Structure 1
Amino acid sequence: MTRLSICGVLAAGAEWVEFAVVRDTVGISDSVLSKHSRVLEDAGYLEVRKGAVGRRPRTWFRLTPKGRTAFTDHLTWLQNLAQAPDRPAPAPQDA
């Protein structure tokens, strides 16, 4: 659920979203966001950019096209599941 929430924030936000904004919006700790963002990055769903604002290091995230497609497909699967509770929905292709 945490990764889905992270992807939701990134899908709804601007092109690049700062680490702190994602962390605070999802309501998780730095270490949890770091762990989950690494998994999403390794899967090819998330792109990470590091830089600085003044002297302070900053990290930004954005969904890759693959990540955006996987997120959209997963939402569609969840919507189909909610609309037909008596029938099992087919599993998402690449979620």
Structure 2
Amino acid sequence: MRTFLLCAFLMIILYPVGIDLYLVAVPRIAESLQANEAQIHTAFSIYLFGMAATVLLGGMIADRYGRRPVVLGGAIIFLAASLVAAHSADVTQFYLGRFW
């Protein structure tokens, strides 16, 4: 039971950690993508929109197939999206990575 609670806690804090790490890195992200701060702050709104949309979708899928596949699939998508955002060459790719 402790392992389950630890894993659940770690999965829940993925979103807040994604926000906190992002806010610290805004100036360097803008510099590396050659974007202005307004474009980078738009990515924050896109991240929140993606989070809200996927929570609703994840809930519906979890009701049908169970929590475990949703949690594992969500973690894989989060990892892949983070890699897309980290290796993006322009703001559009960065937006895509931040949404997913």
Q: Which has the higher strand share?
A: 1
Report if TM-score (shorter chain) is over 0.5: no
- What is the TM-score with the length of structure 2 in the denominator? 0.30
Q: Which has the higher helix share?
A: 2
Task: Between the two structures, name the one with larger relative contact order (CA 8 Å, sep ≥ 6).
Answer: 2
- What is the TM-score with the length of structure 1 in the denominator? 0.31
